[in-house]
Chain A
Amino acid sequence: MKKLTLSMLVIIVLVAVGAWYSTRIPSTPLADVNSSELNASELIAKGEYVARASDCVACHTLPDSPAFSGGLEMATPIGSIYSTNITPDKTHGIGHYTLADFERVVRQGVAPDGHRLYPAMPFPSYAKLSDDDVKALYAYFMHGVQPSDKPNKQSEIPWPLNMRWPLAFWSGLFTDSGSYQSNTEQDEQWNRGAYLVQGAGHCGSCHTPRGLAMQEKALDESSPQFLAGALLDGWYAPSLRNDVNTGIGRWSEEDVYQFLKNGRNQHAVVYGSMTDAYNNSTQFMSDEDLYAMAHYLKSLPGDPLRDGEPWQHKPTTVTASMAAQDAAAKTYLARCSSCHGTDGMGRGQYIPPLAGATSMLAKEDASAINVTLNGSGRIVSHGVPDAYRMPPFRQQLSDKEIAEVLSFIRTTWGNHGGAVKVQDVTELREKTDPASSQVIILQMR
């Protein structure tokens, strides 16, 4: 009996501590700043830039809705959640937030009422934002954005899964506290790049592999897992490290810059989820910042063991005779060669090569399958929609044909990504939708 009482007491204490921990409002270093003074136009402009770099608009703005009024559906296995209204509307938005409230939400994932945000909000990355950038971001959202009274949509996750308090423990375990600290061994450009990649850019959200609890396995360069490539939402976000095959090992810093600035370079064109990141975020960043990101990324070593034998180009031209004997080559000739060339070399920087393409070298074939099934969304570069888009082939090619042609591409021209299974195509077909052929511009004002 005593034993029981004692263990009950222990449980009660643990629950109480747990409850305190998981519902407490954490402290903030910005508690003493007077929020109302943060309204200078320069600060607002700076905040807008930080918002661009952080790609807030991608999740918080819907096409044909007021800027930042939320409502984007994010499907999870246990039900959909919706991004929120982050306009300065006092009732439906964040107009009543103080800077301290704002800081806690952005960097710590805790709302003013103490509820924990789902990590769909990349606060583990935003935690790295500097105090100055948080202040600027706050100034922008309070004064640079029009209030919208669009109500928030409730999440569709049912009880008890909708309880948020366990997320506190998740945060405690998987989030580094404190903003980015300069690495004194590296130069200023490297540090700026590291700050942007790890923080606002939240590149790791897609490109860093995740653990069992869906946490990013690393949040900075101290781990070789950082930006080592990851599978997320039916796309394989490739390594951003110096991996020759699956990363940016063959890219120069200038190539990286071109990619982030123009959405394309001689090696690749943005597609999949990167289209959103490019359309809404990276192209708006300064050349200085983009070069800094390129510089930092190129400093991350590759892993030859993981990456495999470096790609060696084996030129081949797909001909009618070849296609007459091989169903995959036939599909390639009829469906792929017009754009990517009978030699798989693409068309300069406008249509990417398939010879040596990351998606055709990585053993993860999700991106290759996904882009073939669904095509790519429109790239809008500096206000101008792309001249060439990848069409969806889901209506024209069977799962078997897609598996065959991708297997062909992934084993031709020196590519060694390997065969694609029909079953994998079938599964992705069911889970995904075709990309829109329409130009979609998300408004920030």
Chain B
Amino acid sequence: MELWNDMKLQINQQTYDVDVAEDTPLLWVIRDNLGLTGTKYGCGLAQCGACSVLVDGEVVRSCVMPAVSAVGKQITTIEAIEQDDVGKRVVQAWVNHQVPQCGYCQSGQVMAATALLKATPNPSRDEITAAISNLCRCGTYNAIDAAIDELAKPVGGNA
């Protein structure tokens, strides 16, 4: 706890200097120190996924990532999602399929879907199920599936 650092974090292509205890969860640095509130707090225990961000392209639940572990890595939050080609397509699919209800988990859902599609452009249904475990209390799961299935189809492939 006494470990206070002048920590440098690379978030959405910008460098931020923050003074926090090094074990502060990345989530709270993002939300509180930097004011990027699109990333949500739901459980603080990696159970729900509302806090999902990308760290070096991989989806990470930021509530359980000590800030110090993110140093030197490229962090992407929902605020920059449309600056990414895949992210932009995901958002478009979310709108097409009218996915969100209360919306609270959706930043995390979009991040998780984006990470999957960046790593695996045409994921199988099994891969989608394996990769997307974010909770949604409104039960938008069918719509999420429909949106990702649409994106998972090879471009110009069979309908």
Q: Could you list which residues of chain A lie within 8 angstroms of chain B, going by C-beta atoms?
A: 319-321, 323-325, 329-330, 333-335, 338-339, 342, 347-348, 350-351, 381-382, 384, 387-389, 391
B115 — nearest CB in chain A belongs to which residue?
A320
Chain B residues near A329 (CB-CB < 8 A): 130
Chain B residues near A381 (CB-CB < 8 A): 1
Q: Number of B residues whose C-beta is below 8 Å from A?
A: 27
- Among B6-14, B32-40, B63-71, B139-147, the one that faces the other chain is B63-71
B130 A323 Cβ-Cβ under 8 A: yes
| Complex A-B: 22 CB contacts under 8 Å | A320-B119, A320-B123, A320-B128, A321-B127, A324-B123, A324-B124, A324-B130, A329-B130, A330-B129, A333-B130, A338-B46, A338-B64, A347-B64, A347-B69, A348-B66, A348-B68, A350-B66, A384-B1, A387-B24, A387-B25, A388-B66, A389-B45
Chain A residues near B68 (CB-CB < 8 A): 348
B window 111-140: CB within 8 A of A? 116, 119-120, 123-124, 126-131, 133
Q: Is B58 an interface residue (CB 8 A)?
A: yes
Do A324 and B126 form a contact, CB below 8 Å, given A319-B119, A338-B60? Answer: yes
Chain A residues near B128 (CB-CB < 8 A): 320
A33–B58 Cα distance when bound, in Å, is 68
B46 A325 Cβ-Cβ under 8 A: no
Q: Is B47 an interface residue (CB 8 A)?
A: yes
Chain A residues near B133 (CB-CB < 8 A): 333-335
Chain B residues near A382 (CB-CB < 8 A): 1
A320 B66 Cβ-Cβ under 8 A: no
A381–B3 Cα distance when bound, in Å, is 13
**Whole-angstrom distance from the CB of B63 to the nearest CB of chain A?**
9
B window 86-121: CB within 8 A of A? 116, 119-120
Which of these, A324, A348, A351, contacts B64 with CB under 8 Å? A351
A388 B130 Cβ-Cβ under 8 A: no
Given contacts A321-B120, A389-B45, 15 further A-B contacts (CB under 8 A): A320-B120, A321-B127, A323-B127, A323-B130, A324-B123, A329-B130, A334-B130, A339-B46, A347-B65, A347-B66, A381-B1, A387-B25, A387-B66, A388-B23, A391-B46
A331–B39 Cα distance when bound, in Å, is 24
A327 — nearest CB in chain B belongs to which residue?
B130
Chain B residues near A325 (CB-CB < 8 A): 126
Do A339 and B126 form a contact, CB below 8 Å, given A319-B119, A391-B45? Answer: no
**Whole-angstrom distance from the CB of B22 to the nearest CB of chain A?**
8
Which of these, A324, A334, A342, contacts B127 with CB under 8 Å? A324
A387 — nearest CB in chain B belongs to which residue?
B23
A401–B17 Cα distance when bound, in Å, is 42
**Whole-angstrom distance from the CB of B21 to the nearest CB of chain A?**
8
A390 — nearest CB in chain B belongs to which residue?
B45
A323–B25 Cα distance when bound, in Å, is 27
Chain A residues near B47 (CB-CB < 8 A): 391
A339 — nearest CB in chain B belongs to which residue?
B64
A391 — nearest CB in chain B belongs to which residue?
B45
Chain B residues near A319 (CB-CB < 8 A): 119-120
